[in-house]
Amino acid sequence: MSLSIADVSVNTIDGTPKAFSEYAGKVLLIVNVASYCGFTPQYKSLEALYQKYQAQGLEVLGFPCNDYGAQEPDSNEKIQQFCETRYSVTFPLFDKVHAKGVQQHPLYAKLTQAAPQGDVSWNFEKFLVNKKGEVVGRYKSAVSPDSPELIQAIERELAL
């Protein structure tokens, strides 16, 4: 389904507005993240993906979210410090968002509409977005960032 996220705006973790149109021509891996989740160690492999593929046009974008088990209760400052200190995260992190419910961020409304498998069900669910800003893949939390299935999809989109 063609539903571009190019017209969505978000705030970075330090509050700077950022339009998704700035990512035109890039492949995006959008992930709702949390610091106190069983999947939190995925930060390490998300960073490894970012390091390996950034020069080829991949952006990994982390969106802290406290919607699931209250596993991201901290402030943006604490979240950023945790990610940098514990996992050496250098990929962009954004302002805390709601991935579901009545306060769902417009980004997640578009992502879930474009990849209709219902609401985001837990932390570290991943959306793969092509260079045109269209969702081309959705991966549940248990699909690790270094899984062959996800790496093949990323490499395929980067090659287009």
- Cβ-count burial of 83 within 10 angstroms (0-12 exposed, 13-18 middle, 19+ buried)? buried
pLDDT at 4: 79
How would residue 5 be classed by pLDDT, with cut points 50, 70 and 90?
confident
For 3-10, what is the mean pLDDT? 85
pLDDT at 6: 84
In the predicted structure, residue 1 carries a pLDDT above the cut 90: no
- Please state which CATH number belongs to domain 9-159: 3.40.30.10
Residues in a beta bridge with 93 = 62
Question: For 97-118, what is each residue's pLDDT tens digit?
Answer: 999 999 999 999 999 999 888 8
**Which residues in 32-70 are b (16+ Cβ under 10 Å) and which e?**
bbbbebebbebbbebbebbeebeeeebbbbbbbbbbbee
Average pLDDT taken over every residue of the chain: 95
The span from the CA of 54 to the CA of 146, in Å, is: 15
pLDDT cut 90: percent of the chain above it? 91
> Any residues with CB less than 8 A from the CB of 105 and at least 6 apart, and which?
10, 63, 97, 98, 99
pLDDT at 3: 65
Question: For 18-48, what is each residue's pLDDT tens digit?
Answer: 999 999 999 999 999 999 999 999 999 999 9
Point out the residues that are catalytic. Answer: 37
**Tokens 């899984």 appear where?**
147
- Cβ-count burial of 129 within 10 angstroms (0-12 exposed, 13-18 middle, 19+ buried)? buried
In the predicted structure, residue 2 carries a pLDDT above the cut 50: no
Top-confidence residue, 26 or 5:
26
Distance of CA 145 to the CA centre of its chain: 11
pLDDT at 146: 96
Question: For 75-85, what is each residue's pLDDT tens digit?
Answer: 999 999 999 99
The domains of the chain are located at 9-159
The span from the CA of 134 to the CA of 148, in Å, is: 21
pTM value surpassing 0.75: yes
DSSP 3-state assignment of 106? helix
